[in-house]
Amino acid sequence: MAFENLILEKEDYLAILYINRPKALNALNAETLYEMEEAIKDIKADSNIKVVIVTGVGDKSFVAGADITFMLPLSPHEGRFFSDVGERVMRQFELMEKPVIAAINGFALGGGCELAMACDIRLAAENAVFAQPEVGLGVIPGFGGTQRLPRLVGEGRAKELTYTADVINAQEAYRIGLVNHVYPADQLMDEAKKMAKKIANKAPLAVGYAKFAIGKGMQVDIDTAMSIESDMFGMCCATEDKFEGMGAFVEKRKPTFKGK
C-alpha cells in the first residue's frame, strides 16, 4: 500500500508501520491519522500478519506529537473532531487482535507518547524521551493520554507529568513503568523483531484472546473481568491450536500452530 506519510512494510508474519514525516519529526497531522486508519485496516485483514511494530522514520524521533502547525488554526469544533479522529486511531491499535509493539526511537512527545501508550508493549531506545507537553501549548492531551497515562503509571505520576509537561528520559520511563525495556538505539529494531518472533511462534488465537481479556478486563469490575477471562479460555478450547499445543506437550515435541 502506498502512503504519503507512512511506510507499511511486511516481512512474513510481521508488519512494520513507520510514521514517515521526518521533516516534522514525524508529527501527526490529520492526513497521517487517516492513512494510519487505512494501514490498520490492511493489517487487520491480512491473515499472514501476526504481530505489528510501530516506529518512526529516522534515528531522532518516534513521533514529536500532533502537528502543531496543523492544530494552531483549529476551531473548537475542528479541535474536538481532530482529537476524536486521533482517539479512534489509537483505539484501533488496542482493539485489533494482533499485538502491537511500539519501537520508540527518539521523541515520544504529546500525541507520540499517546501513540506509544496505545500499543500493547513499549520498547524504547536509550535516546528516547517522553512528555505530555500539551499544557505548555494551552491544550491537554487529546489522543487518549489523560486516560492511558494514569492507567499505566498511576494517577499521581500521570498528573505530575501532565501538569508540569516535564520531559523524562528512557530510564525514567522504564522506572515508572511507561516502557517495558530500554535498548541501545542500534539494537532497538532487532529487539522489537525478536519479541515479535517470540509472539508469532505462539498460538495466534490464544494471543488475540489474551489481548481481548486483558483489554476488556481492565475496563470492568473484577467479577465481570473474570468471566471475560473464562469465556476466552473456553474459546481457546474450541481451537485446533489448543489440541496442538497441549498434544505437543504430552508427546514431548514442539507445537506447530496454525492460527485455527
Shortest CA distance to 87 belongs to which of 131, 24, 142, 10? 142
Name the residue with cell 513503568. 177
User: Is-contact 60 107, C-beta < 8 A?
Assistant: yes
CA–chain centroid gap for 154, Å, is 19
Q: Which is nearer to ligand HXC, 12 or 84 (CB)?
A: 84
Task: Give the strands of the sheet with 129-131, arranged side by side.
Answer: 61-63, 107-109, 129-131, 168-169
Q: What does the binding site for ligand HXC look like in residue numbers (CB under 6 A)? A: 24-25, 27, 64-69, 82-83, 86, 107, 109-111, 133-134, 137, 141-143
As measured in angstroms, the least distance from the Cβ of 131 to ligand HXC is 8
Q: Which is nearer to ligand HXC, 96 or 109 (CB)?
A: 109
As measured in angstroms, the least distance from the Cβ of 189 to ligand HXC is 21
As measured in angstroms, the least distance from the Cβ of 103 to ligand HXC is 18
CA–chain centroid gap for 25, Å, is 18
As measured in angstroms, the least distance from the Cβ of 66 to ligand HXC is 4
Q: Which is nearer to ligand HXC, 45 or 76 (CB)?
A: 76
Name the residue with cell 522514520. 57
As measured in angstroms, the least distance from the Cβ of 216 to ligand HXC is 25
Q: Which is nearer to ligand HXC, 99 or 141 (CB)?
A: 141
**From the CB of residue 52, how many other CB atoms can be counted at a distance below 10 Å?**
24
Sign of CA dihedral 53, 58, 63, 68: negative
Active site residues: 114, 134
Q: How far apart are CA 99 and CA 121, in angstroms?
A: 8
Q: Which is nearer to ligand HXC, 14 or 116 (CB)?
A: 116
Q: How far apart are CA 34 and CA 48, in angstroms?
A: 23
Query: In the numeric block, which cell numbers belong to residue 117?
Result: 501508550
Q: How far apart are CA 110 and CA 174, in angstroms?
A: 18
